[in-house]
Amino acid sequence: MNKIYNPKQDTWLEILKRPTKTIDDIEVTVKEIFKEVQKKGDEAVAKYTSIFDGIALDNYEVSNEEIQEAVGLISSELKGAIQLAKDNIYKFHRAQKTDKISIETIEGVNCWQEKRPIQKIGLYIPGGTAPLFSTVLMLAVPAAIAGCKEIVLCSPPDKKGKINPAILYAANLCGVTKILKVGGIQAIAGMTFGTQSIPKVYKIFGPGNQFVTVAKQLATQFGVAIDMPAGPSELLIVADDTAVPSFVASDLLSQAEHGTDSQVILVSTSKKLIDEVEIEIQAQLEVLPRKEIAQKAIENSKLIFVENDQTALNLINDYGPEHFIICSEYDDFYCNGIVNAGSVFIGNYTPESAGDYASGTNHTLPTNGYAKNYSGVNLDSFMKSMTFQKISEKGIQNIGKAIEIMAEAEGLQAHKNAVTLRLKSLEERE
Amino acid sequence: MNKIYNPKQDTWLEILKRPTKTIDDIEVTVKEIFKEVQKKGDEAVAKYTSIFDGIALDNYEVSNEEIQEAVGLISSELKGAIQLAKDNIYKFHRAQKTDKISIETIEGVNCWQEKRPIQKIGLYIPGGTAPLFSTVLMLAVPAAIAGCKEIVLCSPPDKKGKINPAILYAANLCGVTKILKVGGIQAIAGMTFGTQSIPKVYKIFGPGNQFVTVAKQLATQFGVAIDMPAGPSELLIVADDTAVPSFVASDLLSQAEHGTDSQVILVSTSKKLIDEVEIEIQAQLEVLPRKEIAQKAIENSKLIFVENDQTALNLINDYGPEHFIICSEYDDFYCNGIVNAGSVFIGNYTPESAGDYASGTNHTLPTNGYAKNYSGVNLDSFMKSMTFQKISEKGIQNIGKAIEIMAEAEGLQAHKNAVTLRLKSLEERE
C-alpha cells in the first residue's frame, strides 16, 4: 500500500491517476464483428457464439420452461433477499418520477416539459463466475417504472447453453420482455442492428469486459445510446478518528475484490487511522477467497494523509470517485461540498455493499472521473424529456416582433416570414 | 416535392430515410489536429486558426473593451428582443429545477438524490454568415441557472479577428465567464485537453459544421461529455383541414432554409391541404433570400397522405422528428400519443420559429432520429444527478442479511464481509 503524506496540489493528478488501457487492438475485432452481424444477422451471431462461448444454439431466446426451471433452482432465502432489494430499488426509483412542468412564459405562450419512456431498451448482463443478477434489478426495475415497452436482456450462455438461474429469475421477476442467450460483442452488435432473433433497441445498458465496453462505444456511432462510458470500479473513503478501522478496511477490500485494476483510496486527517486501517486490511485480506485479485488492487491503493478537511474535499472533487464513503465528524461538510461523485455513503453503518445490493440506490455509476460530467443510472436514464408549446393569437402577438427581429439579425428570412404571415393575418382580421 | 399517397408500413423506413454522410475522411483530419493540440497547446491552436480562419492572433480571449464595443453596436430594438427571449428561456428552464428526492426505503435506510452542476462547461458557437446568438441564450441561460462555475464560449474569429457583436452581447448578458476567439476542430480539441489559453471543460455543447460534429464525437473518447450527437435539422408537420396552408408552407420553408440537407415532411389526412400547401410553398419560395438552399431542401421534402390519424401517428413515432408541428382537429390525440419527438408545436399560431427564438423552450434538440433515445437540451443537461444514503444501526440490521445472501450468491465474499463485521459488532454490543 502506498502511504502518502500531505501531497502538494500539483501532484494530485499524478497520485490519483487511473489505469488507462489501450483499446486499439480490440477496436479492430469489434468493428469486424459489427460489420458481420449487420450484414448476416443471426448467422454471424451463431458463428461468434460458437467461437467465444463454445456452443452451438438453435434458438437464442430463453423459453418459459427454462425460466420456470430457474425459478425452481433458486433458494427461498435468495428469493427473499432479491425481493427485499427489489422493493427498495423500486421505492427509490419510483420516487424519482417527475411531474409535467408547465409554465406560461408570457401571456398566451404555454410551454411544458414531459418525460416519455424510451420505447426499446437492451440490458447486457455478463456471464462468467460472478452472475450479476443484482445488475438485472438495477436496470430492469427502473426500466419498468419508466414504462419502456420492450426490455431485452442479453447474457452469454455457458457451455451447456444455459444462463445462470439467478439472472433468469431476476429478469423474469422485474418485467424483462425477452431474454436472449447471446453475449459479448455479438450481443451488442445484435441489439444495435437487430437480427432475426435479437430486436434492435434504442439504448443499451449494463456492464461488461473491455470487448463489451468497446462494442457499446461503437454502437453509439450507429444511433444507439448507451448508459455511460465504463471504466474499472473505484472507491474513495474519507475517514477520521470517528471511523471504525475494521469497517473502513472491509469497505476498501470489497472494492478491491472486483478486479486487479480496481481503484481503492483512503483520505484521512488522521495518521493513526491510516496505520490502523493498513493493519486491518492485511488481516482481513488473508481469509478472502478472491485474495489474489484483491491483493493486487490493494498494492496499487493509496492511503493519503492531508492536514485538513478542506484540502481533503478539494482532492476528492478533483478525483470524482464513483463510490464515496464519508466516516467523519464533519459529514455534513463533505455532503454539502461534494460536487463530483457517483454515489455517497454516509456513516459507519453504510457500507458500499449496501448500495451495491439493497439500500435502493442504483449501483450503475460513473467511474474513471465521469462523475464530473455524467449521472449514475436513474429513472431519467430510461426516459427522454420532450418539450411542448402552444401559443394563442394573443401569445404570438406578444412574442412575434421579438422573433422577427432576431430571425432577421441571424439572416433567416423564412423564419421571420412564418411569424409575419401570422401577425398579418391577425391584423387583417381586426 | 414528392407527394406520396398511403405508403405501406414496410416502405416507411425507405421513405423517411435521412441523408447519411461518410465521415471517414474528416476523421483523419480531426484526429491529427486533436493530437497536435494535445501535445502543443496554444501553438497548435495558432497554427490552425491561421489555416482555417486566415488570421494570426496574439490573444484569444475577448477583452472587456471588445465586449463593451459590441454592446454599443447592437441596436436597442435587438437588445429588447434578446431580453424578451432571455426572460422566457429563463422562466421555462428555471421551472425545471427539481427538489432533492428523499425517501426512507426501509426503516433506518435513508436514500436521496440531488443534482449538482457540472463545474466546467464549454459552448461552441459557429461563426460565418448566420451569427447564432440565439444559441448562446439557449445554452448559457440554463448553464447559469444550473450553477456551472466556468462557462467557456468558443467562436471562430472573422478575418479582422473579431467575433460577431450579437454573439458577444448575448454571451456577456447571460453570464459566460470566458469568451475565446477560437473555432472549429481546434476549439473542441482545446476545450478537451486544455491549453495555455483555453480551459479544459467537462462537457461541450453547441452546433457546428461536420468538422465540429466529428470533433465533438472524438472528444467523448477523451473523457469529455457532449450535449448530443448532431445531424441535419428537421421538421415534420401533421396537418388537416383545420390548418392554414400558407402557415404550414411558411413553417416548412423556415426549416428548409437551414441547409440543403434539411429534412422537411408534411403528413396529412387531407389531399386538399397537401395540394394547397404545395402551391403556397412555390409562391413563398420565390421571394426568399436563401431561396437556393431552401429550394434544394424542398426538392427532397415529402408530402405524405395517410388515411387516418392513427397511421399518421405511427409513422411519426417511427420517424422521431426533431421539430413536430401539430395543426389538427385531433391535437390532443397527437400530443398524448407522440413518444419520439424533440419539441412539439401545437396549433396554427405556434410556428417553429417561436421555439427557435423566444417561446422559452430550448432549440438544441435531437435530430436524425435521436429523439427516440435522447432528450433535447434542458436544465438537467448542465447537472449530474448524485445519490446519497445514510444507514442507521437499525437500518443495517434490516437489510444486512439480504446483502450477505446476495453478495455470497454473486461470489463476492468481501462485499459480504463488510456487512457481517458491522452486524457482528452490533450483536456483541447487545
CATH of the domain at A71: 3.40.50.1980
Size of the A and B interface in Cβ pairs below 8 Å: 419
Do B169 and B317 lie in one domain? The reply is no
Nearest CA in chain B to A95: B101
Measured between CB atoms, which of B335, B358, B373 is closest to A388?
Answer: B335
Q: A162-186, pLDDT tens digit by residue?
A: 999 999 999 999 999 999 999 999 9
Looking at the domain assignment, is residue B151 inside a domain?
yes
Do A365 and A425 lie in one domain? The reply is no
Do A55 and A200 lie in one domain? The reply is yes
Do A134 and A278 lie in one domain? The reply is no
Question: DSSP 3-state helix, strand, coil percentages of chain A (rounded to 5)?
Answer: 50, 15, 35
B34 CB within 8 Å of a chain A CB: no
CATH of the domain at B416: 1.20.5.1300
Q: B261-273, pLDDT tens digit by residue?
A: 888 999 999 999 9
Chain A positions touching B225 (Cβ under 8 A) are: 370, 373-374
* Options B322, B393, B427, B430, the catalytic residue: B322
Active-site annotation holds for A322: yes
Whether the per-residue pLDDT at A81 is higher than 90: the answer is yes
Cα A276–chain centre separation? 33
3-state secondary structure of A122: strand
**Percent of chain A clearing pLDDT 70 (strictly above):** 99
**Residues 6+ away with beta carbon under 8 Å from A66:** A162, A163, A168
* Interface predicted TM-score (ipTM): 0.96
Could you please report the per-residue DSSP string of A301-338? -EEEE-SSHHHHHHHHHHH--SEEEEESTTHHHHHHH-
Active-site annotation holds for B322: yes
Measured between CB atoms, which of A105, A361, A378 is closest to B88?
Answer: A105
User: What residue numbers of A does the annotated binding site for Zn(2+) cover?
Assistant: 255, 258, 356, 415
Looking at the domain assignment, is residue A109 inside a domain?
yes
Whether the per-residue pLDDT at B20 is higher than 70: the answer is no
**Per mean pLDDT, which range of A23-32, A177-186, A259-268, B396-405 is the poorest?**
A23-32
Measured between CB atoms, which of A134, A373, A419 is closest to B203?
Answer: A373
Whether the per-residue pLDDT at A289 is higher than 80: the answer is yes
Amino acid in the structure at residue B381: S
> CB distance A223–B368 less than 8 Å?
yes
The residue-averaged pLDDT of B281-310 equals 92
* Options A276, A323, A352, A363, the catalytic residue: A323
> CB distance B130–A352 less than 8 Å?
no
A130 CB within 8 Å of a chain B CB: yes
Chain A positions touching B82 (Cβ under 8 A) are: 406
Measured between CB atoms, which of B345, B388, B419 is closest to A335?
Answer: B388
Question: What HEC string does chain B produce?
Answer: CEEEECCCHHHHHHHCCCCCCCCHHHHHHHHHHHHHHHHHCHHHHHHHHHHHHCCCCCCCECCHHHHHHHHHHCCHHHHHHHHHHHHHHHHHHHCCCCCCEEEEEECCEEEEEEEEECCEEEEECCCCCCCCHHHHHHHHHHHHHHCCCEEEEECCCCCCCCCCHHHHHHHHHCCCCEEECCCHHHHHHHHHHCCCCCCCCCEEECCCCHHHHHHHHHHHHHCCEECCCCCCCEEEEEECCCCCHHHHHHHHHHHHCCCCCCEEEEEECCHHHHHHHHHHHHHHHCCCCCHHHHHHHHHCCEEEECCCHHHHHHHHHHHCCCEEEEECCCHHHHHHHCCCCCEEEECCCCCHHHHHHCCCCCCCCCCCCHHHCCCCCCHHHHEEEEEEEEECHHHHHHHHHHHHHHHHHCCCHHHHHHHHHHHHHHHHHC
> CB distance B344–A425 less than 8 Å?
no
Optimal mutation site among B384, B397, B426, B427, interface A, most CBs of chain A within 10 A: B384
Optimal mutation site among A384, A393, A416, interface B, most CBs of chain B within 10 A: A384
Measured between CB atoms, which of A96, A224, A386 is closest to B341?
Answer: A386
pLDDT mean across residues, chain A: 95
**Residues 6+ away with beta carbon under 8 Å from B78:** A405, A406, A409, B166
Q: A213-250, pLDDT tens digit by residue?
A: 999 999 999 999 999 988 889 999 999 999 999 999 99
User: What residue numbers of B does the annotated binding site for Zn(2+) cover?
Assistant: 255, 258, 356, 415
pLDDT mean across residues, chain B: 95
The reported pLDDT for the residue numbered B18 is 82
- Give the whole-angstrom CA distance, residue A362 versus residue A355: 7
Q: In which band, very low, low, confident or very high, does the pLDDT at B23 lie, cut at 50, 70 and 90? A: low
Higher pLDDT, B79 or A259: B79
* Options B234, B280, B323, B363, the catalytic residue: B323
> CB distance A244–B130 less than 8 Å?
no
B4 CB within 8 Å of a chain A CB: no
3-state secondary structure of A390: strand
- Give the whole-angstrom CA distance, residue A373 versus residue B119: 8
Looking at the domain assignment, is residue B333 inside a domain?
yes
From the CB of residue A167, how many other CB atoms can be counted at a distance below 10 Å? 24
Whether the per-residue pLDDT at A19 is higher than 80: the answer is no
Q: B39-65, pLDDT tens digit by residue?
A: 999 999 999 999 999 999 989 999 999
Structural domain including A346 reads 231-375
Do B218 and B162 lie in one domain? The reply is yes
Nearest-CA neighbor of B354 among A207, A422, A430, A263? A422
Q: Give the closest-approach CA distance of B398 to chain A in angstroms.
A: 10
Query: Whose grid coordinates read 469486424?
Result: A32
Do A174 and A245 lie in one domain? The reply is no
The reported pLDDT for the residue numbered A21 is 64
Do B243 and B219 lie in one domain? The reply is no
The reported pLDDT for the residue numbered A261 is 86
Q: Give the closest-approach CA distance of B296 to chain A in angstroms.
A: 15
Looking at the domain assignment, is residue B418 inside a domain?
yes
Looking at the domain assignment, is residue B408 inside a domain?
yes
Looking at the domain assignment, is residue A201 inside a domain?
yes
Number of domains in chain A: 3
- Give the whole-angstrom CA distance, residue B108 versus residue B393: 7
In degrees and rounded to multiples of 5, residue B261 shows phi and psi of -95, 10
Whether the per-residue pLDDT at B430 is higher than 80: the answer is no
Nearest CA in chain A to B244: A422
- Give the whole-angstrom CA distance, residue B128 versus residue B133: 12
Whether the per-residue pLDDT at B19 is higher than 90: the answer is no
A390 CB within 8 Å of a chain B CB: yes
The reported pLDDT for the residue numbered B324 is 98
Contact between A376 and A362 (Cβ < 8 Å) = yes
- Give the whole-angstrom CA distance, residue B240 versus residue B329: 7
**Percent of chain A clearing pLDDT 90 (strictly above):** 87
A333 CB within 8 Å of a chain B CB: no
Optimal mutation site among B412, B423, B424, B425, interface A, most CBs of chain A within 10 A: B412
A306 CB within 8 Å of a chain B CB: no
Measured between CB atoms, which of A244, A246, A351 is closest to B419?
Answer: A351
DSSP state letter for A61:
B
Higher pLDDT, B290 or B179: B179
Of B314, B337, B360, the last residue of a domain is B360
Chain B positions touching A415 (Cβ under 8 A) are: 254, 257, 352-353, 356-357
> CB distance B360–A103 less than 8 Å?
yes
Q: B402-417, pLDDT tens digit by residue?
A: 999 999 999 999 999 9
Q: A27-56, pLDDT tens digit by residue?
A: 899 999 999 999 999 999 999 999 999 999
* Options A257, A276, A322, A352, the catalytic residue: A322
A190 CB within 8 Å of a chain B CB: no
Contact between A177 and A150 (Cβ < 8 Å) = yes
B375 CB within 8 Å of a chain A CB: yes
Q: B339-362, pLDDT tens digit by residue?
A: 999 999 999 999 999 999 999 999
Optimal mutation site among B388, B394, B401, interface A, most CBs of chain A within 10 A: B388
Q: A317-360, pLDDT tens digit by residue?
A: 999 999 999 999 999 999 999 999 999 999 999 999 999 999 99
Of A187, A208, A226, the last residue of a domain is A226
Do B272 and B337 lie in one domain? The reply is yes
Q: A396-408, pLDDT tens digit by residue?
A: 999 999 999 999 9
Q: If contacts are CB pairs under 8 Å, which of residues 213-272 in chain A contact chain B?
A: 217, 220-221, 223-225, 229, 244, 246-247, 250-251, 253-254, 256-258
Nearest CA in chain B to A147: B339
**Per mean pLDDT, which range of A17-21, A40-44, B3-7 is the poorest?**
A17-21
Of A226, A243, A269, the last residue of a domain is A226
Do B339 and B414 lie in one domain? The reply is no
The reported pLDDT for the residue numbered B259 is 86
Report the interhelical angle of B24-40 vs B42-53 (nearest 10°).
Answer: 140
From the CB of residue B210, how many other CB atoms can be counted at a distance below 10 Å? 12
Whether the per-residue pLDDT at A23 is higher than 90: the answer is no
> CB distance A109–B359 less than 8 Å?
yes
A76 CB within 8 Å of a chain B CB: no
3-state secondary structure of A118: coil
The reported pLDDT for the residue numbered A22 is 63
CA distances from B309 to A325, B234, B306, B403 (A): 54, 21, 8, 51
Do A211 and A269 lie in one domain? The reply is no
Q: In which band, very low, low, confident or very high, does the pLDDT at B202 lie, cut at 50, 70 and 90? A: very high
Looking at the domain assignment, is residue A383 inside a domain?
no
Looking at the domain assignment, is residue A17 inside a domain?
no
Do B7 and B28 lie in one domain? The reply is no
Measured between CB atoms, which of B78, B352, B392 is closest to A418?
Answer: B352
Do B160 and B307 lie in one domain? The reply is no
From the CB of residue B401, how many other CB atoms can be counted at a distance below 10 Å? 18
